[in-house]
Structure 1
Amino acid sequence: MSARDPAPRERSGTTGRRFPRTGTEPVTAQSPLRLRLLLSGIFLPVFLAAAVLFGLWAASSGPGDSPGTGALTGLAVACGVLAVIAAADGLVVRRRMRQERAARPG
């Protein structure tokens, strides 16, 4: 098997495009799922609050105010996108943790 051949289906990801190991990483290397879950749990409400606050600030700012409405709206949208990413990562981590628990021998 060459370095660019896809891994067998039992080792592949959702899309079936994961490649075999090529470096010196351990065979049992895992993502720190609990840390990712903690970080997404912390930053989801932070980004949601920031999005709301920037949105309210943009709504109450006048035409000559600094920072302008456009900059505040952009910050609100950016914080909203980051909140969506944190929520999606939290869901992915929970699904992976559930899969790991189900795969462990009882």
Structure 2
Amino acid sequence: MSVHPQPPGRRGTVERPYSALNLRLALAVFGLVTSTVFAVLAGRAGWSVAGWILAVMALIAAIDIVVVQRRRRARRKIQGDGHSLFE
């Protein structure tokens, strides 16, 4: 699997990317934290099905964090050292 700063064939350039990776990262972290907390709470309350569903959602959020970080790293290699909150 090759990693590019953005998928091939999509609109956008290195200077004007099409996706907001930092926003996606923040939402994924929020989803990971909330899903994990609610999975633990659901498990303690005896709602095992809801707890497992939330645990799977937390796993998906963790995978998304890894994917976003790989894209951000690929973009940083192309663009250079410039740090920006709004990549």
The 1:26/1:77 distance shift into structure 2, 3 A limit, reads same
2:31 equivalent to 1:46: no
How many Å separate the matches in 2 of 1:105 and 1:84?
31
- When normalised by structure 2's length, the TM-score is 0.72
Structure with the bigger RCO (C-alpha within 8 Å, sep 6+) is 2
Other-structure match for 1:82 = 57
Deviations 1:53-75 (A, max 9, x none): 000111xxxxxxxxxxxxx2110
**How far off its partner does 1:104 sit?**
1.9
How many Å separate the matches in 2 of 1:39 and 1:82?
13
Where do 5+ consecutive residues of structure 2 fail to align? 3-7, 82-87
Instruction: Report the residue type matching 2:11 in the other structure.
Output: P
**How far off its partner does 1:26 sit?**
3.1
Percent identity over the alignment? 34
Deviations 1:24-64 (A, max 9, x none): x6343522211110101111110000000000111xxxxxx
Secondary structure of 2:11's counterpart equals coil
Where do 5+ consecutive residues of structure 1 fail to align? 1-13, 59-71
Other-structure match for 1:100 = 75
2:11 equivalent to 1:26: yes
How many Å separate the matches in 2 of 1:51 and 1:78?
8
Other-structure match for 1:61 = none
The 1:73/1:100 distance shift into structure 2, 3 A limit, reads same
- When normalised by structure 1's length, the TM-score is 0.60
How many positions carry a matched residue from both structures? 73
Q: Which has the larger radius of gyration?
A: 1
Secondary structure of 2:52's counterpart equals helix
How many Å separate the matches in 2 of 1:32 and 1:100?
12
Secondary structure of 2:61's counterpart equals helix
